[in-house]
Structure 1
């Protein structure tokens, strides 16, 4: 039975002592396989463009509101504007082995008063896709939002036709909430937007599951995962792994 007020009406669960969350800042977020740094065009743009340009085609940009970029100059123009923004707050994904930036992602639609924030603008180069660092980058932002900034709800939205994005959200522990029809017009076409979310009540279990998946013991000599992130209960946690 839901809680009721003095008038017999159903009401939501109390949130005692709630204080607004903090807006994301410009700090570096370090992990085992790499780090997130605030996007800095002077340091990141040239190598980011090179990483994206290494792809044989532009399919990675199909569901993005921007791109593909014809040349480094056009990408730098986008990066210059993105780096000025505080919402979205863009971060470069840095490979720990090489120090090279291999992609970007952002914290956006920030609503500190209600404790809601969204991850978006995820642009991973082919060198970053399907690597432990690709997952760790998402984990670093999730951990930052929940454990340091105090958010209650973490959102993921994508074109409902973007099956890789939908699978990624569910693999990371987000729950599908529904589709907003005709929500956006971009690149001259309609977008029905699929909504996913993760709440602070679900986060502790998801955090442990991702930490366990990121442990070096989960990867064989060729870097292949031994256990899927999406399947089964949490693995035993390596307390030396990033995310402690």
Structure 2
């Protein structure tokens, strides 16, 4: 392609406010009234992860009313577009995540605002929840670019991005002020030419054949992607 050649490109549709169904979880558009109680217990209850809110621009919340007011505000937005993660085994809401920085004209979209209860962390359910948004963004909508951004000090998020197949592109220094602290932002992406390999690895990793009777993975996602 020459420097000034035109792309064979048409803008994509924005993501729908619709249910996404998987094997372990389903994603439902956030409904503060319906999901609020479960999410409060999953994200701020006695068994929740105390480090969950460390790098998010909000939370933890002082009380249930403040949390539900925040949820209601997020339910009303189209960008970010929030989804609730429902554990299909228990039918309970166990986490949140969203699309954001949605740019249909450019075919660019981001996944973020990820808040998973402790029971979801490091589980097939957490990987599948993100996979469902990734698959919709790239296969369902036809985006050219999928982004992941996080505080450069957030080691867990950076490891997750790399495990999921995102490529780090750089560091935006002094990008934001969050909770009164400087945030250097690490930027990651997957582009459409890379997606088929990533997709195949996810399909194989999430297959029931990849887990033994104790639920332990037989092959790591990174190993499947390297083939």
Same fold (TM > 0.5): yes
Secondary structure, counterpart of 2:223 in structure 1: coil
Shift of the 57–26 alpha-carbon distance from structure 1 to 2, 3 Å rule, reads closer
Q: Distance in 2 between matches of 1:211 and 1:57?
A: 29
**Structure 1 match to 2:200:** 208
Deviations 1:187-222 (A, max 9, x none): 110000000000111111101101100011111111
Paired residues in the alignment total: 226
Mapped contact 2:41–2:48 kept (Cα < 8 A):
no
**Structure 1 match to 2:140:** 148
Q: Distance in 2 between matches of 1:171 and 1:81?
A: 31
Shift of the 56–41 alpha-carbon distance from structure 1 to 2, 3 Å rule, reads closer
Q: Distance in 1 between matches of 2:167 and 2:5?
A: 20
Q: CA deviation at 1:103?
A: 0.4
Whether 2:10 is the aligned partner of 1:19: answer yes
Whether 2:35 is the aligned partner of 1:44: answer yes
Secondary structure, counterpart of 1:196 in structure 2: strand
CA radius of gyration, larger in: 1
Q: CA deviation at 1:13?
A: 6.4
Mapped contact 2:49–2:118 kept (Cα < 8 A):
no
Q: Distance in 1 between matches of 2:4 and 2:153?
A: 33
**Structure 2 match to 1:8:** none
**Unmatched runs of 5 consecutive residues or more in structure 1:** 5-10, 236-244
**Unmatched runs of 5 consecutive residues or more in structure 2:** none
Q: TM-score, normalised by structure 2?
A: 0.95
- Report 1:88-237 matches (<5 A): 88-233=80-225
What root-mean-square deviation, in Å, do the aligned CA atoms of Structure 1 and Structure 2 show? 1.5
